[in-house]
Amino acid sequence: MGLRLKNMNFDLLHPRDQIELTMARIYGRDMTTTSGGNISVRDEDGHVWISPARVDKGNLRRHDIAKVALSGEQLEGPHPPSSECPFHLSIYRARPDIKAIIHAHPSALVSFSICGQVPDTRVFPEAWNVCGEVAFAPYALPGSEQLGVNIAEQFAASSDTLCVVLENHGVVVGGASLADVFKRFETLEFTAKTIMQAKNLGSLKVLDEAGMSMAKDRLPDLPVCEPQAPSSRERELRKEICDFIHRAYEHDLVTSTWGSLSARINDDSFLITPYRVDRASLDLEDLIVVRGGECPAGTRPSRAVDLHAAIYAAHPEMHAVINALPVSATAFSVSDAVLDTRTIPESFLFLKDVPKFAYETVLSEPHTVAQAMGPDNPVALLEHNGALVAGKTVLDAFDRLEVLEATAEAIIQSKPLGEITPMADTVIEELLKAFGRV
């Protein structure tokens, strides 16, 4: 039986196990095919562990992994190394700081590759911080030495380059560890998907240098409080938050390290997800209690903690908040387009009208955002920061989040069909009279 991702220190795993788990995760999230993609890790001796050639990526096991010297000589493994091994080795020779590489063919990044373009990561501060500026390598025959030269030249051109789109081929991502590389790879594909959806809406907004600077060094610095024994409600909420954040990740509503969920414990305290802890493996003890604006020493709550706190302070009836990254809804947050919820009854009743808050307001005036939300306005879009949903319970908030994404996706998919016919004011009045608040 294979290793499970949950409850595990990934860095303590052997490279064989790291590659097995990461390939299973990439394949399971439809970011590669049975025969496509390869992963490698350089160990402390300078040897490279790499996924093999012609082995089902959906059924890769640790014993399948090949070990090669930096010269290319195979040292271990029942199968030959990936046919793309030459470019992995070329990158490692060019960049001693890179210790792991993922190459795959996720659909959105392949779309960019076949159009000779790269995604502009300045659409999100998180994408820019994690991925940096994306480079582009010209086409060469897969598995050839020339392909290795073309890719290595891009990585060697700047020590900041960690993502390279390959013309008509896919993407290569590197980093200091395989966990770091997966986070970067996933963030880049999410960014590419969102950009494509935003362009389907007709526009794309990117941040300028001043906007990017606003997001730097914005980690919360809360005063320290003494930890307290958890109440029964806190224990129950810990499980509920973990269950729903895992569910959100499985349904592509958050990424592995971006997106936050909180729930109110009482009038003075709430639980919130931590900063950059993998949402797929988040566990009960990872959640952080914020009590009276303070948190236990050594903990790092989500960067959105001030926004969550402001909503709880402004709306005692709200007991859960989610800041999420559903691709279609997030596309509206980086577009000039307006998300019209007057599409079907469920959309309007669950979402009401969805305002969009300016990027500067989201970062500098969380109380302004919080005051504008509430039972009659439980959902908002945050420019360059996804969606914000509040609810009376975690389930209530999560339900609204799913309705938001389904609505946004339907609107974007309808574009080839023609203009949307929104429900008339008389229909809205009838709905409100019949159902009131949902």
pLDDT in tens, 58-80: 999 999 999 999 999 999 999 99
* pLDDT the model gives residue 437: 60
Of residues 381 and 375, the one with the higher pLDDT is 381
User: Is 212 among the domain residues?
Assistant: no
Residue type, 120: D
What's the whole-number mean pLDDT along residues 71-90?
Answer: 95
Of residues 199 and 8, the one with the higher pLDDT is 199
User: Is 92 among the domain residues?
Assistant: yes
Co-location of 193 and 258 in the same domain: no
Which secondary-structure segment (H or E) carries 106? Answer: none
Co-location of 164 and 260 in the same domain: no
Q: Domain containing 391 — which CATH number?
A: 3.40.225.10
Co-location of 196 and 268 in the same domain: no
User: Is 225 among the domain residues?
Assistant: no
| Alpha-carbon gap, residue 52 to 65, rounded angstroms | 6
| Alpha-carbon gap, residue 50 to 57, rounded angstroms | 12
User: Is 214 among the domain residues?
Assistant: no
User: Is 218 among the domain residues?
Assistant: no
Co-location of 258 and 194 in the same domain: no
Task: Tell me which of 178, 200, 222 is where a domain ends.
Answer: 200
Co-location of 289 and 422 in the same domain: yes
CA distances from 404 to 204, 230, 326, 380, 413 (A): 20, 33, 9, 10, 14
Co-location of 278 and 354 in the same domain: yes
* pLDDT the model gives residue 217: 62
User: How many structural domains does the chain have?
Assistant: 2
User: Is 261 among the domain residues?
Assistant: yes
| Residue 4 pLDDT level (bands cut at 50, 70, 90) | very low
Please identify which residue in the block is written with the tokens 């890769």: 60
What's the whole-number mean pLDDT along residues 359-369?
Answer: 94
Co-location of 237 and 195 in the same domain: no
Q: Catalogue the E-assigned strands of 228-350.
A: 260-266, 269-272, 288-291, 295-296, 320-324
Q: Is the pLDDT reported for residue 94 higher than 60?
A: yes
DSSP H stretches of helix in 201-338: 209-214, 232-250, 305-314, 327-333
CA distances from 349 to 241, 388, 400, 420, 434 (A): 25, 17, 10, 18, 11
Query: pLDDT tens-digit profile of 49-62?
Result: 999 998 999 999 99
Co-location of 282 and 154 in the same domain: no
What would the two tokens of residue 66 be? 């090949």
User: Is 205 among the domain residues?
Assistant: no
What's the whole-number mean pLDDT along residues 250-269?
Answer: 96
11: how many CB neighbours lie within 10 A of its CB? Answer: 10
Tell how strand 387-391 and strand 38-42 pair up. unpaired
| Alpha-carbon gap, residue 147 to 289, rounded angstroms | 50
User: Which SS3 state, helix, strand or coil, does residue 137 take?
Assistant: strand
What would the two tokens of residue 325 be? 């990254």
Calculate the average pLDDT of the chain: 94
Co-location of 165 and 248 in the same domain: no
Residues of the chain with pLDDT > 90, as a percent, come to 88
User: Is 220 among the domain residues?
Assistant: no
Co-location of 192 and 238 in the same domain: no
Co-location of 196 and 241 in the same domain: no
| Alpha-carbon gap, residue 133 to 146, rounded angstroms | 23
* pLDDT the model gives residue 129: 92
Task: State the residue range of the domain holding 123.
Answer: 10-200
What would the two tokens of residue 118 be? 């790269």
What would the two tokens of residue 422 be? 């929104």
Co-location of 67 and 181 in the same domain: yes
Task: Tell me which of 146, 181, 200 is where a domain ends.
Answer: 200
